[in-house]
Amino acid sequence: MITHRRNLFNKAIVIDLGRQDFEECWTLQHRIQRARKEEILPDCLLLVEHPHVLTLGRGGKRENILVSETLLHERGITCIAIERGGDVVYHGPGQLVGYPIFALKREGIGIVNFVWRLEEVMIQILKDYGIIGQRNERNRGVWVGKDKVGFVGIAVRSGISLHGFALNVNPDLSFFELIQPCGLKGVKATSMKALLEKEVDYEEVKERAIIHFREVFDISMQKMKMIDLLNQIPYSKSFDSNVSEDLIYNGYISEVSKT
């Protein structure tokens, strides 16, 4: 059971980015993170669908990408090393990605609890469709049996979270065969579509994600257009992904905490 604190996060802005290039979204995350640090913005949740991309976390190993760079190029897949914890993860069309940029340190929420809540959002979405999602004590994310359907990987900088979760709604699962997801040998990825044996309404899943974020984080959420958000935050062409973080969570062995 989740231990709620009333108004843990009083308010969050939700931005639906539609489909956006990963690197553009990565830069946007850092712009929002700086604005959140300066209290220009409240907490923000970005919802996005990426074109084909592999992201390699700080704990990632190139050998967990099972094909050559040439083959990746032929399939239209870029590979980007980023500052989140964990190993290699695939993002692509049909996968719902959420980036909560939340002031964890200021609100006194722990990292493992934050990850537990991101998992809970995905578990509750799956439950809406009659799918029983579960946690794995050693491997973070959301599982259905032995197959992984939801992924979590975050970084925390100046007490503010970056990156987040990815839920397989209708992706082409063949792309997961190019990697060892999260660096785990023998693990297969699944999707809501595969489990239900039918296409799932992606926009509906997105709305369910907002509802369950509101419930799990005990938070009020307000949708905002991208243009309105950009008008509130300073522009920066680049960021330094090598700046030291307060904490990077790669959590594949930590025991699940519910407090």
The residues that are catalytic are 182
> 15 and 221 in contact (C-beta within 8 Å)?
no
Residues sharing a CB contact under 8 Å with residue 236, sequence separation 6 or more, in sequence order: 27, 30, 31, 34
| 3-state class percentages of the chain: helix first, strand second, coil last, to nearest 5 | 30, 25, 40
Number of Cα atoms under 13 Å in the Cβ half of residue 220 = 5
Alpha carbon 86 to chain centroid, angstroms? 12
| Distance (Å, whole) CA 142 – CA 145 | 10
